Each structure stands twice: as structure tokens, then as C-alpha cells.
Chains A and B, each alone.
Chain A
């Protein structure tokens, strides 16, 4: 079965620090990869997505992610975080072999201290 792992459950940072959140998935074939963000009390919103092409994907709010096929990874980065980036971040994977079901990682709760 398809699985997604996010290794960091909680991250605490100061403003202007750099952020990197890890995401690994289990399936080796063609995949769609996503990062979603959930701000406190809100629903999930798409940060960025990878379907094909350039493995370095840029999303909203200064976030980017790099798809490394050989490592089954899709790590999320932001060079300089702001207090408003405090949220929970979810990596998700979809692939045809798994019926295009969307499978989520366990989430990483990020707290940015002002």
C-alpha cells in the first residue's frame, strides 16, 4: 500500500530562520506530489504540487519543494519564515497504481516564534 512519511512531527523556529520539512513516499512509479498547509482553525490549502517536469517546484508564499526520484522524497523548503507561517503542513501523494487515491503523511506542526 502507498504510504507517506513526514519525519518531523513538530518544528519550532524563530522568524527569519530557514525551514525544511522532510517527506518520503513508498511508491516507485509515476506520482503526483503535493504539500498542503492548514492554518489554525482552517481547512487544508494547496501550497504547491509536482506533476512532471522541473523537479524544483515553487509554490505560494515563498515555499518551494524538490522532487528527488531516487530518494522517493519531496522536501518542502522556505529560506526565511515568518510568524504567519505557523501552521500544520501535510505532504500527500497520488499515483495511478493506487487508484489515484490521495494519501497523506502524518503532518508537521510548525511554530514560528516572533
Chain B
């Protein structure tokens, strides 16, 4: 079982460059999430999706865009990267009902110089 797969695992960007992080899950989960993890700040929700074709803002959405064109994929885009976006990004998925747990990807370590 692949579970939740994130690509890439590491990336270094220059300020102003763009990139897309890909998250794929094979559990037919309705909900998918993108979090960023920064020292001392826990996991903060960037955007999430409650199903194919839907997206919603989380706590820290500015500077990011997302798309959920297929149920199994959730893309996180940075149009113009800034050093403040240096972080570890985690994707997660869960069933949409109550009483379901979330599964996490391995993380993407992004450095913006």
C-alpha cells in the first residue's frame, strides 16, 4: 500500500521561482490537506479539499494555491517563492466522515534562497 506519496522530497528554489508540490493518495479519501511545519509552530493548515474539484483556505493560505482536479491528487503551488516559505510541507488525507484518521506523506523540505 502506497498510502500518501509526496513529490519531491527536497527542493531548493530561488526567490521568485515557482513550483508545484504533488500529493497522491490511493485510499479513496475525500479530504486532503496541505500543512507546513516550522520550528516551534506545529503544523499549520495551508489549504484543504473536501473532494474532487473543491478547495478551501486554511490558517496560512497566502502565497499558495491548490488544485484538486482528481480525487487522488492534491497539488500545492507556489507562484513566486519567498524565503518565508522555507519550511517542511506535509500532505495528509482522511475520510470525510467522523471517526476516520489522517494519513501523512513523508514531507517535502523546501528551501527558498
Chain B contact residue count (CB 8 A cutoff): 27
User: A106, B99: Cβ atoms under 8 Å?
Assistant: no
Bound complex: CA of A38 vs CA of B35, how far in Å? 14
Query: Which residues of chain A from 55 to 102 have any CB-CB distance to chain B below 8 Å in the complex?
Result: 90, 92, 94-96, 99-102
User: B102, A43: Cβ atoms under 8 Å?
Assistant: no
For B33, B100, B102, B107, the residue with the greatest tally of chain A CB atoms inside 10 Å of its CB is B102
| In the complex, residue of chain B having the shortest beta-carbon distance to the beta carbon of A106 | B42
Residues on A with beta carbons closer than 8 Å to the beta carbon of B99: 32, 51-52
Contact of B96 among A6, A42, A100 (CB under 8 A): A100
Binding site for B on A (CB under 8 A): 6, 9, 30, 32, 34, 36, 42-46, 49, 51-52, 90, 92, 94-96, 99-107
Binding site for A on B (CB under 8 A): 31, 33, 35, 40-45, 48, 50, 56, 58, 90, 92, 94, 96-102, 104-107
- A102-B31, A104-B42 provided; 8 other pairs, C-beta below 8 A? A32-B98, A92-B102, A99-B56, A100-B98, A101-B48, A102-B92, A104-B43, A107-B43
